[in-house]
Amino acid sequence: MNFGTPEFVLGIVAVSTGGWLLNNWIRARHGYALEDEWFGKTEKADPAATRQQAETHAKLLERVEYLEKRTAALETIVTDSGYDVARQIEALSALDTARSPAATPAPAHRAR
């Protein structure tokens, strides 16, 4: 048997690769962490954590949209020359009340 032939070397590489693939398949099937080519571990994804992360992401996007609307309204109020400011402030309060009616108290009006 000649160990220096290319067929022998390719056979060793094929057997090693096949064993690595079989090992990872068995580990994945039984829920163990997979080993990558640099001897690190890749944990199996947790569906509950992924779902919770998606819900948190959706809430944060909703909050960003709310803050963008509020910022746009505040920019309009600040850059306006004073014309119809009271109406815009009331519209901003209505926007805040529509989002969370229990958290925002009713505005107190002063008698003039």
- pLDDT one-digit tens code per residue, 48-104: 888 899 999 999 999 999 999 999 988 887 776 666 767 777 888 887 777 765 554
Do 77 and 59 have their domain in common?
Answer: yes
Tell whether 81 is covered by a domain: yes
Do 52 and 33 have their domain in common?
Answer: no
Do 59 and 74 have their domain in common?
Answer: yes
Domains in the chain, number = 2
Tell whether 111 is covered by a domain: no
Do 54 and 21 have their domain in common?
Answer: no
Tell whether 110 is covered by a domain: no
Q: Nearest CA to 44 among 19, 24, 58, 22?
A: 24
The pTM of this model reads: 0.39
Do 51 and 84 have their domain in common?
Answer: yes
CA-based radius of gyration for the chain = 32
Q: Nearest CA to 92 among 109, 110, 104, 82?
A: 104
Q: Nearest CA to 112 among 86, 89, 73?
A: 86
CA angle (61 as vertex; 55, 65 as ends), nearest 5: 145
Do 35 and 62 have their domain in common?
Answer: no
Tell whether 91 is covered by a domain: yes
CB atoms < 10 A from the CB of 32, how many? 14
CB atoms < 10 A from the CB of 95, how many? 14
> 94: domain range?
47-99
Higher-confidence position of 106 and 71: 71
Do 10 and 29 have their domain in common?
Answer: yes
Tell whether 104 is covered by a domain: no
